[in-house]
Chains A and B, each alone.
Chain A
Amino acid sequence: MSAFLLNRLSQSIVLLVIVSIIGFTVLNLMPGGPLAQFGLDPGMTQKDVERLAAQLGLNRPLWIQYLDWAWRLIQGDWGHSFRDGSAVLAVIGRHLLATLLLMGTSTALAIAAGTWIGIRGATHRYSLFDYCATVGAMVALSVPTFWFGLIGIYIFTLKLGWVPAGNMYTIGDGSVLDYLHHLILPSLVLSLVHVAIWSRYMRTATLEALSQDFVKTARAKGVSERRILLKHVVGNALLPMITLAGMQLPSILTGALVTETVFTWPGMGRLFLDSLGYSDYPMVMGLLIFSAILVVLGNLIADIVIATVDPRIRLG
């Protein structure tokens, strides 16, 4: 196991270096650069802008800027926002909780519902339930999330007045109940797509497991259908799903871009969009590296979990 981890760690470092180089290069290929916004500002002369660039180190060659940034990153200094000078890591930390709350809830919902729908679709293949689930998944996958968000706000906020239209809490309240109240609509909307994906995969994996010989063996032993499903089918069907769950982890950051904007949720997705709009390079690079680390971590965790639950890998 330790050899495996060491191997994966070295791969991950190479991956992170490549991602950061590509990210840094592409970001700096954008016309204008971070100081372009001052170009039309009548209060700033060309000299002022140049002085600012020198102060921020933006007049140096690109590769030196990169090495400087990377060296600081290794030492734990993720840089400071161009916008308000606050530390990148601190800003990420502030937004992380909001995103985790939203994405964690919706992912948990999606996995629970998707697993159930997938298994039931497989055991009742070609039933009315199965057809409805299939069509439902197609609709959820083909309609953009923001549209569901807007429809949700229209119905449940404007018409019915059940839930707030946006934000994470009511200013001045901030109780647990208030947070939950704000959480309902965005997390449900977000989970729609994930339920669709998860249930489709789960259905296929369950069908695959059901067709295995050991299921027939269990039937020949006189094991009840219920126990066959729980003990033999679901366990084997969930194995490939662990990898999928691992890949969902980074989407806790990126998947909420649109939904967070629709529901004015103060999370990572909105932070990313805003930072791009302001050409806040240190912030964007910070978010990029952060999500790359999440991808690596997600895959690593999935592999470790698979290795723990599958004796063929654990002991083989």
Chain B
Amino acid sequence: MASGIQVASPVDVALSVRELTVSLPEGMERAYAVENISFDLKRGQILCIIGESGSGKSVTANAIMGLLPKAIRVSSGAIHLDGMNIVGLSPDKLRSLRGRVVSMIFQDPLSALNPLMTVGAQIEEVMAAHDVGTPASRRSRAMDLLVEVGLPDPQLMYHQYPFRLSGGQRQRVMIAMALALEPAILIADEPTTALDVTTQAQILQLIRDIQRRKGMSVMFITHDFGVVAEIADSVVVMEKGQCVEQGGAEQVLKSPSHLYTRRLIAAVPHLTGKNRIPLETAEKISILKVEGLAKTYRSGSALFGTQRIVPAVNGVTFDLTSGRTLGVVGESGSGKSSLGRLLIKLMECDGGSILFEGRDIAGLSETEFRSLRPKIQMIFQDPFASLNPRSTVGHILTVGPVAHGTAYRAAAERARELLSHVGLDTGAFDRYPHEFSGGQRQRIGIARALMFKPKLLIADEAVSALDVSIQAQILKLLDQIQRETGVSMVFITHDLRVASQICDEIAVMHRGQIIERGPPSQIFLDPKSSYTRELVAAIPGGQPGSMSQDESRLGHQRQGETL
């Protein structure tokens, strides 16, 4: 690993990390956050650091910025910024480097800007902090930067407060701040993870453009191999604080040498564009038939004329037969989660009908619907927040059925059965949620949903919070469960690649409406609407199977013949 790297001459290397070890305080899972890692960021290149949560990639970035929390210290090794070793520099010296020689942008642009300061003031602050320019020159520079990062109407934007901006615009402001003093190195810590897929594509484009124009060196931290494929020149793969593989992007992506890298790449949900093989057993019983479903959010007061009306779900129509999965995809604010909540009646709809096994449940009262509740179950997004930390897993699983009249003994027996079925030890029954990892908790969540032998599962971003390797396992589990039980599923996700893995049919939502509905082969290879085309084009990591547009059309026809 480290021995394989030639020490490049400082002229070509903007950032060089040598045998860096960062120790964790005692009593943590492991002794070191990162252990003995070495890599170089060449001038004018983009280096991607990829790894799952807990791999130490963010700690590495913070060490380079001199921003490690007090409890975590660099215990050995060197970090050369422009030829200067910054390990052990005084806080004041480090401060003078930050923002000037090396800048950083963060994952969540919503919280990374001060809500009480205007955009312009926050950009100027970088220059003021390093005593660059006069108030007037800083102001004009800030305007230029706003133009440079592609924000519309810089005059207006300058005086705007962050809450008025969209996520993508805020990330552009962050980039403008990072560029203000033309630093040699930009560190981007998962800068597109919190963004919608089309916005992500734009921000990636912007970072690449700026990097090329300025000849900047970029260290880009991500967990997404699709993003790596989009922008990386070279790649460092990290696992549990170790650097397991590094090399050129082509080489690492096409012929990974380390087992972990191979596993990671294999786990990345690829856009297949292939249709799912339907269940053989499936008799086509209609489970769910939704017609003209509508929900409008009203806020503020009608009395004083401050009412705001947002149509969240608008005339949604679809049907779902037994044993099939309908994917609902869309960007944030498209109404997909509202739709999920309407289907399980966590929220009353304003119009339309929801025929569940032929019976309209839209107008049912809570008491009338209660007997049907067991048949429609939900799997939630956040496996940490959706399990009561004070209940044992056994209690979490059995409390619902017992409330619906099942004897505790029978419920407990089924719970143990299901736990082993979803791949957990039956001993999990007596343990508490905090003893499990995110993926295991999601398995508990799935077991909980299955306790009632439901006819319909609603999975709202059920794998979004998980690392890719865990994601793949959970998707496999859901697929297996569906094949065994014939349960129908509405799978809500923002990730089109995930949707392409598990869905028989996909509905694309945009502004509360279903824009397009069809099998994955249609949605991904031959989208009918321009919005769907835009969404698919924005997916990082290229088109299905890296086929060009023409080839993919052919591919679709071939599939059309075989399926």
Contact = CB atoms under 8 A, between A and B. Distances in A.
B301 interface: yes
Contacts of B111: 212-214
Given A227-B129, A312-B161, A220 B67 contact: yes
Contacts of A239: 116
Interface residues of A, number: 28
A309 B126 CA distance: 23
Contacts of A235: 116
B306 A3 contact: yes
Interface string B111-127: 11111110000000110
Interface in A209-250: 212-214, 216-224, 227, 231-232, 235-236, 239
B60 interface: no
B320 to A, nearest CB: 39
Interface in A1-37: 3-4, 6-7
Main SS at interface, chain B = loop
A212 B110 CA distance: 11
B97 A222 contact: yes
A217 B163 CA distance: 16
A311 B177 contact: no
Interface residues of B, number: 33
29 contacts: A3-B301, A3-B305, A4-B304, A7-B301, A7-B304, A213-B111, A214-B112, A216-B106, A216-B112, A217-B112, A217-B113, A217-B177, A219-B65, A219-B98, A220-B99, A221-B98, A221-B177, A222-B97, A222-B130, A223-B125, A223-B129, A236-B114, A236-B116, A239-B116, A310-B115, A311-B116, A311-B163, A312-B163, A315-B164
B163 A316 contact: yes
B95 interface: yes
B511 to A, nearest CB: 21
B95 A224 contact: yes
B103 interface: yes
Interface in A283-316: 309-312, 315-316
Contact of A3 (B99, B130, B304): B304
A312 B65 contact: no
Given A3-B306, A220-B65, A312-B163, A213 B129 contact: no
B108 A222 contact: no
Contact of B96 (A6, A222, A236, A312): A222
B236 interface: no
Contact of B125 (A7, A213, A221, A312): A221
B104 interface: yes
B451 to A, nearest CB: 38
B95, B96, B97 — most chain A CB neighbours (10 Å):
B95
B454 to A, nearest CB: 39
Contacts of A3: 301, 304-306
Contacts of A216: 67, 106, 112
B540 to A, nearest CB: 24
A219 B68 CA distance: 11
Nearest to A232: B114
B494 interface: no
Contacts of B304: 3-4, 6-7
Contacts of A217: 106, 112-114, 174, 177
B345 interface: no
A222 B126 contact: yes
B66 to A, nearest CB: 9
Interface string B152-186: 00000000010110000000001001000000000
B279 to A, nearest CB: 45
Contacts of A214: 111-115
In the complex, the 6 A-B pairs of residues with the closest C-beta atoms, listed nearest first: A222-B99, A3-B304, A222-B98, A213-B111, A311-B161, A221-B99
